[in-house]
A and B are shown apart, each in its own frame.
Chain A
Amino acid sequence: MTKREFDPQVKQLLDGELTLADLPAELRQEGEEALRLLAAVDRELVSLPAVTWRVMATLERRRQRRLTWLLAPALAAAAALALLLGRPANPPAAASSAMVTVRFVLVAPGAHQVSVAGTFNRWDLSATPLVRSGSADMWVATLSLAPGQHQYAFVVDGVRWVPDPTAPAIDDGFGRRNSVLTL
């Protein structure tokens, strides 16, 4: 037992099995050091308000993807048929009837306005505003999008481009990141 370790009685103090008064005099100082250690423990409760919407948004997004799963075999069949008939495999006209509903959610404390801009709305900052929903920090918009590849980002207060924290992201070629939506 070297000096670097707490005396076993001090450890009992730390465990709450002894009080400072129970310790012999020569261990008092070490006991006080131990109690100072415990006093530094951070017992502050931690609150995570964003977790609720983030969990539900994740589950919702996965559910939307599964909806595409149900519709996609029809698309694949149409494309395969087109190939058989010798026509180029362009997206079949049926694609427009298989739109996917996507919900965009962003928590932006302090924001006055939030919109989403991307390949589906010609990167127009004003085309798709989000609205506050539930908690004051949560902004939501729901869109019907065609199956395919989409890139987007949120725009906060008309100036700050923010990628979607829950989505995959790629380089936008301008030093920022775009979020990716593959439907």
Chain B
Amino acid sequence: MRRLGLLVLGLVAVAATALAAQQSIAARLSGRASPEIVTLVQELGSTAASRGLPIDPLIQKAIEGNAKGVPSERVATAVRLVYAQLDTAAAALRSAGPNSPPDTVEIAAGGFAITAGLRGRDIAELARTGRPAAAVTVGLRVAGTLAALGVPPAEAVTLVSASLRAGQAPGDLLALPGRVQSEMARGATPAQAAAGLARAAAAQARHGPPPHPGPPPHPPAPPHP
């Protein structure tokens, strides 16, 4: 009897939480999305919550579409796409390690990386570096940002996983896109820039951090005719 009581209490608690979530979605979208979009986000949000997916990216995309004056139908498509990307990211993160289920922040970072062009297997590879969730989260954001700069997904993943394995701090990871942009400014393609930095990270993992880097004192000699 008691167990049944607890079960009922548990169910009521779950129902109450779900109701609160729906109300929270409606509140956040109030005045910022059409009624059909609000309904859609509530539906997707409810499924997302039950599957451990973040809801915030869905809400953000709905608000963004409304702000940009996009027709409801197109906003709906975009919101569904975000959901699918979050789902893919979550599956990829889970495949990397059944022991530690990914949290919503990590999944959101994975979803962003997928929007930027990474694939599920790229997400899984980053998760398999065995670093703590916070580091993987930063790694996913950085990998996505690199892809947004034009670095091909494979090179972005190689660079970030090499950096993660080298034990680089989140701050170093966050500096990677800027360093790639610097290399690109010197004429490297995004892929070349990322590959160069990945080699440096791998070397660091083997030998420890290098002395303070100094570029060569003279620009290269002029090319011959």
Contacts and interface: CB of A to CB of B under 8 A. Distances in A.
Q: Is there direct touching of A and B in the complex, by C-beta distance under 8 Å?
A: yes
5 nearest A-B pairs in the assembled complex, by CB-CB distance = A69-B171, A79-B134, A168-B148, A173-B78, A123-B67
Contacts of B61: 173
B175 A65 contact: yes
Interface residues of A, number: 41
A168 B115 CA distance: 13
Interface of B: 32, 60-61, 63-68, 70, 74-75, 77-78, 81-82, 103, 105-106, 108-109, 112, 115-117, 132-135, 138, 141-142, 144-146, 148-149, 169-172, 174-175, 177-178
Contact of A89 (B60, B70, B132): B132
Interface of A: 61-62, 65-66, 68-73, 75-76, 79-80, 83, 88-91, 117, 119, 122-125, 148-149, 151, 161, 168-174, 176, 178, 180, 182-183
Contact of A76 (B106, B112, B134): B134
Interface of A, secondary structure class, is mixed
Contact of B82 (A70, A75, A173, A180): A173
A90 B103 contact: yes
Given A91-B105, A168-B145, A69 B82 contact: no
Contact of A182 (B66, B81, B174): B174
Contacts of A79: 132-135
A69 B174 contact: yes
Contact of A122 (B63, B78, B82, B144): B63
Given A70-B171, A169-B148, A174 B65 contact: yes
Contact of B144 (A70, A75, A119, A180): A180
A62 B185 CA distance: 14
Contacts of A174: 64-65, 68, 70, 74-75, 78
Contacts of A119: 60, 64
20 contacts: A62-B178, A68-B171, A69-B171, A72-B138, A76-B169, A80-B134, A83-B134, A88-B103, A89-B134, A119-B60, A122-B32, A123-B63, A123-B64, A161-B68, A168-B145, A170-B115, A174-B75, A174-B78, A180-B116, A182-B142
Nearest to B172: A69
Given A73-B169, A90-B103, A90-B105, A182 B145 contact: yes
B174 A76 contact: no
Contacts of B64: 119, 123, 151, 172, 174, 178
